[in-house]
């Protein structure tokens, strides 16, 4: 079994502890949209993007700290599976980029994969009635994709 399959198996169970809007289904949808967006860019680390999407909301026990806590869960899992340290660092950075309050506090995402995960998560959030986060998107491609969903 590859690392992505292992992560899926592990994450599916763990997401069950979360509230109804942060279940495994959410992670899966964000991941699908992220992979769709990734098609528009060169040299995307798809493995890192997949793993970051899988783990991005995995610990929602404390909503305001869910990014930091989810990073810890990802790090522990990846270490236990002997995933290389430099790649773990990348996955952590991508997960870190997905929240607006951390973006405001620490600045724009540096990795394209981080921007993609952010936009994918905000595309989903924009599908809620009365919500529109398209002004925050990093990419025009994300605006195009959102349009496809709502029309
Ligand atoms: Fe999140
Ligand atoms: Fe999310």
Each of the 151 residues of the chain gets a pLDDT tens digit; together they read: 899 999 999 999 999 999 999 999 999 999 999 999 999 999 999 999 999 999 999 999 999 999 999 999 999 999 999 999 999 999 999 999 999 999 999 999 999 999 999 999 999 999 999 999 999 999 999 999 999 988 7
pLDDT at position 135 is 97
Nearest ligand to residue 71 Cα: 1
**Can you say how many angstroms the Cα of residue 120 is from the centroid of all Cα atoms in its chain?**
7
Nearest ligand to residue 25 Cα: 2
Domain extent listing, the chain = 3-150
pLDDT at position 151 is 78
Nearest to 4 by CA among 46, 59, 44: 46
Nearest to 64 by CA among 101, 95, 26: 101
**CA 74 to CA 72: how far, in whole Å?**
5
Does the pTM surpass 0.95? The reply is yes
Identify the CATH homologous superfamily for domain 3-150.
Hypothetical protein af1432 (1.10.3210.10)
pLDDT at position 150 is 85
| 12 CA from centroid of ligand 2 (Å) | 14
| 7 CA from centroid of ligand 2 (Å) | 17
pLDDT at position 33 is 98
Contact 8, 54 (CB under 8 A): yes
Contact 38, 116 (CB under 8 A): yes
């Amino acid at each position: 079994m590859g690392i992505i399959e292992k992560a899926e198996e592990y994450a599916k169970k763990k997401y069950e502890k979360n509230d109804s809007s942060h279940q495994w289904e959410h992670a899966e949808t964000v991941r699908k949209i992220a992979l769709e967006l990734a098609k528009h860019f060169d040299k995307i680390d798809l493995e890192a993007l997949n793993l970051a999407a899988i783990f991005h909301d995995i610990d929602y026990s404390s909503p305001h700290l869910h990014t930091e806590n989810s990073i810890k869960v990802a790090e522990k899992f990846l270490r236990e599976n002997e995933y290389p340290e430099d790649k773990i660092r990348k996955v952590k950075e991508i997960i870190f980029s997905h929240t607006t309050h951390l973006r405001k506090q620490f600045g724009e995402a540096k990795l394209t994969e981080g921007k993609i995960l952010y936009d994918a998560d905000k595309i989903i959030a924009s599908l809620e009635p009365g919500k529109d986060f398209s002004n925050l998107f990093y990419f025009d491609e994300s605006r195009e994709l959102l349009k496809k969903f709502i029309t």
